[in-house]
Chain A
Amino acid sequence: MERNPLRRQLQIMRKSLFDQGYLDEQFVQLEELQDDSNPNFVEEVVTLYYRDSARLILNLEQALERKPYNFNKLDAYMHQFKGSSSSIGAKKVKAESTLFREYCKSGNGEGCMRCFQQLKKEYATLRKKLEAYFQLARQAGPMETACRPK
Chain B
Amino acid sequence: MEMAVDKTQFHVLAVDDSLIDRKLIERLLKTSSFQVTAVDSGIKALEFLGLNDDDDDEDEQRDSNSESISSDEDQDHQDLGVNLIITDYCMPGMTGYDLLKKIKKSSCFKDIPVVIMSSENIPSRINRCLEDGAEEFFLKPVRLSDVNKLRPHLMKGRSKDIDFPDRTRSGCLISTGN
User: Interface residues, chain A, CB within 8 Å of chain B?
Assistant: 26, 29-30, 32-33, 38, 41, 44-45, 48-49, 51-52, 79-80, 82-84, 86-88
User: Interface residues, chain B, CB within 8 Å of chain A?
Assistant: 18-21, 23-24, 27-28, 31, 90, 119, 140-141, 143-144
In the complex the two chains form, is B20's CB within 8 Å of A87's CB?
A: yes
Q: Which of B20, B23, B90, B141 contacts A29 (CB 8 A)?
A: B141
Q: Within the assembled complex, what's the spacing in Å between the Cα atoms of A84 and B141?
A: 9
A83: chain B residues within 8 A (beta carbon)? 18, 21, 119, 140
10 pairs, CB–CB < 8 Å, chain A vs chain B = A29-B141, A29-B143, A29-B144, A33-B24, A33-B28, A41-B27, A80-B18, A84-B18, A86-B119, A87-B140
In the complex the two chains form, is A49's CB within 8 Å of B27's CB?
A: no
In the complex the two chains form, is B141's CB within 8 Å of A87's CB?
A: yes
In the complex the two chains form, is A48's CB within 8 Å of B23's CB?
A: yes
B140: chain A residues within 8 A (beta carbon)? 83, 86-87
Closest A-chain residue to B16, C-beta based?
A: A83
In the complex the two chains form, is B23's CB within 8 Å of A45's CB?
A: yes
In the complex the two chains form, is A26's CB within 8 Å of B141's CB?
A: yes
Closest A-chain residue to B90, C-beta based?
A: A79
Closest B-chain residue to A26, C-beta based?
A: B141
Q: Within the assembled complex, what's the spacing in Å between the Cα atoms of A87 and B140?
A: 7
In the complex the two chains form, is B20's CB within 8 Å of A88's CB?
A: yes
Counting from the closest, the 4 A-B pairs by CB-CB distance are A84-B20, A87-B141, A83-B119, A33-B27
CB-CB under 8 A for A84 and B144, given A33-B28, A79-B90 = no
Taking the closest CB of chain B, its distance from the CB of A47, in whole angstroms, is 10
Most buried by B among A38, A52, A80, A82: A80
Taking the closest CB of chain A, its distance from the CB of B66, in whole angstroms, is 33
In the complex the two chains form, is B20's CB within 8 Å of A48's CB?
A: yes
Closest B-chain residue to A30, C-beta based?
A: B24
Q: Within the assembled complex, what's the spacing in Å between the Cα atoms of A86 and B141?
A: 7
In the complex the two chains form, is A45's CB within 8 Å of B119's CB?
A: no
Taking the closest CB of chain B, its distance from the CB of A30, in whole angstroms, is 8
Q: Within the assembled complex, what's the spacing in Å between the Cα atoms of A51 and B141?
A: 19
Q: Within the assembled complex, what's the spacing in Å between the Cα atoms of A44 and B20?
A: 9
In the complex the two chains form, is A33's CB within 8 Å of B18's CB?
A: no
B20: chain A residues within 8 A (beta carbon)? 45, 48-49, 52, 84, 87-88
Given A29-B141, A33-B28, A45-B23, 7 more A-B residue pairs with CB atoms under 8 Å apart are A29-B144, A38-B27, A45-B20, A48-B19, A51-B19, A83-B140, A87-B24
Taking the closest CB of chain B, its distance from the CB of A46, in whole angstroms, is 9
CB-CB under 8 A for A82 and B119, given A29-B141, A87-B18 = yes
A51: chain B residues within 8 A (beta carbon)? 19
Q: Within the assembled complex, what's the spacing in Å between the Cα atoms of A44 and B26?
A: 13
Taking the closest CB of chain B, its distance from the CB of A148, in whole angstroms, is 29
Q: Within the assembled complex, what's the spacing in Å between the Cα atoms of A44 and B19?
A: 11
Q: Within the assembled complex, what's the spacing in Å between the Cα atoms of A33 and B143?
A: 10
Q: Within the assembled complex, what's the spacing in Å between the Cα atoms of A86 and B143?
A: 12
In the complex the two chains form, is B23's CB within 8 Å of A44's CB?
A: yes
